[in-house]
Amino acid sequence: MTWMMNEGGGHNCPKKTDDICGDVCGQGSSRLSMSRVRCILLGIDLKTYIFLFVLVPTCIFGIYVHGQKISYFLRPLWESPPKPFHDISHYYHENVSMETLCKLHGWGVREFPRRVYDAVLFSNEVDILTVRWQELYPYITQFVLLESNSTFTGIPKPMVFASNRDQFKFAEPRLTYGSIGGRFKKGENPFVEEAMQRVALDQLLKIAGITDDDLLIMSDVDEIPSRHTINLLRWCDEIPQVLHLRLKNYLYSFEFLVDDKSWRASVHRYQTGKTRYAHYRQTDEILADAGWHCSFCFRHISEFIFKMKAYSHNDRVRFSHYLNPKRVQRLICKGADLFDMLPEEYTFKEIIGKMGPIPHSFSAVHLPSYLLDNAEKYKFLLPGNCLRESG
């Protein structure tokens, strides 16, 4: 088959053509007819068909399934790391006087300790709340707890604390308890409901009697400051007005140590009209090695599933099989992510370094004393006990 150029620079029809291409010839290039498409398709070889109808759909499906992973892996390209904290060295030994400890931190020592208020929003974390309150009990003036009949995602929930209040009789004389009704607005950003509950917690603190220069602990239930950290801050003078606490970051139990980068917990010297309960970065100063953050540390598989559906990041449950109890149990024992996500880091080095299951730890040193005193009851939180109850 030969082609000949016409004077205008276009192509003439070949001398020999099939019927389809013959129909196509002579049509203007500006209009793509069905016949022209059919002609083009006839010219495509088998490998190209395989590419178009196998590889391309496979890629699209892969992006659908693993798109979130791809997004998190490429995070260093589109998001810069936050400004580094100014770490304050933390000094402690049980045989060192408080005057010496305060001096080592560059602070003075008070004639009498500040009052301390521990305020939390409660969902369903009965066991970890018990560990928290027992750890802090000697130094807390008032425990302040707010509970709602709605999750942050608008799902109705039982008043778990109210139903289990008898378990917290040890804290009852120091407890200010409040409840708030949910708004149950479908489709609303979960952080809106969370913010509303934090505003209500501000009001509950006033009812509890907090005053200027009292210490206020702002943290989630599973972000537990160590006892000696709070004692240090209540006795030392000239501490920062707001101070974040760097906590050791655990997942599922104290067997899986992720890192020491948990920072959202904070302690405030209360100021009337200025201090607002929040869970975001509020200062650049952070006290090192100040406690523990034990995320998703539940006794029952049902509690894991409830939190996966209920907390503010419920969009991470992208597929229904994520909530399968057998899958949840398997991943807990493996130390793998329930949401099949990559680490939330800002450099490729950190992302790659944390990919895969969390290494098992066999250390139960420097954990909350109540946990070890009641090791049999809370063995699910200790190394070597990953199996959970099904209820």
Average pLDDT over residues 276-281: 94
Q: Residue 238 has which token pair?
A: 């000239």
Please say if the pLDDT value at position 95 is more than 50: yes
| DSSP states along 24-62 | HTTS-TTS--HHHHHHHHHT--HHHHHIIIIIHHHHHHH
Please say if the pLDDT value at position 334 is more than 90: yes
Which of 288, 293, 292 minimizes the C-alpha distance to 246?
A: 288
Residue 17 within a domain: no
Segment holding 371, helix H or strand E: helix 369-373
> Residue with structure tokens 């009052």?
115
Average pLDDT over residues 19-36: 52
Q: State residue 16's pLDDT score.
A: 47
Percent of the chain whose pLDDT exceeds 90: 65
Q: State residue 172's pLDDT score.
A: 97
Q: State residue 225's pLDDT score.
A: 98
Please state the separation of Cα 352 from the chain's center in Å. 19
Q: State residue 184's pLDDT score.
A: 74
Q: State residue 11's pLDDT score.
A: 47
User: For 117-146, what is each residue's pLDDT tens digit?
Assistant: 999 999 999 999 999 999 999 999 999 999
CATH of the domain at 223: 3.90.550
Residue 102 within a domain: yes
42-56, 241-255, 308-322, 367-381: which has the minimum mean pLDDT?
42-56
User: For 206-247, what is each residue's pLDDT tens digit?
Assistant: 999 999 999 999 999 999 999 999 999 999 999 999 999 999
Q: State residue 374's pLDDT score.
A: 98
Average pLDDT, the chain: 87
Residue 340 within a domain: no
Q: Residue 94 has which token pair?
A: 């049980």
Listed in order, strand segments (DSSP E) in the chain are 86-88, 108-109, 116-122, 142-148, 175-180, 215-218, 223-225, 236-237, 242-245, 247-251, 257-262, 266-269, 285-287, 291-295
> Residue with structure tokens 């109210």?
162
Residue 117 within a domain: yes
Q: State residue 319's pLDDT score.
A: 85
Residue 331 within a domain: no
Residue 240 within a domain: yes
Please say if the pLDDT value at position 84 is more than 60: yes
Q: At what angle do helices 325-334 and 301-310 cross, to 10 degrees?
A: 100
Residue 330 within a domain: no
User: For 175-185, what is each residue's pLDDT tens digit?
Assistant: 999 999 987 77
Number of separate domains in the chain: 1
* Structural contact between residues 296 and 388, judged by C-beta atoms closer than 8 angstroms: no
Please state the separation of Cα 127 from the chain's center in Å. 19
Q: Exposure of 319 by Cβ count < 10 A (0-12 exposed, 13-18 middle, 19+ buried)? A: exposed
Q: Domain of 112? A: 86-299
Residue 185 within a domain: yes
50-64, 96-110, 158-172: which has the minimum mean pLDDT?
50-64
Please say if the pLDDT value at position 86 is more than 80: yes
- Rounded alpha-carbon distances, angstroms, from residue 208 to 72, 130, 242, 270: 42, 20, 21, 13
Which of 226, 223, 241 minimizes the C-alpha distance to 94?
A: 226
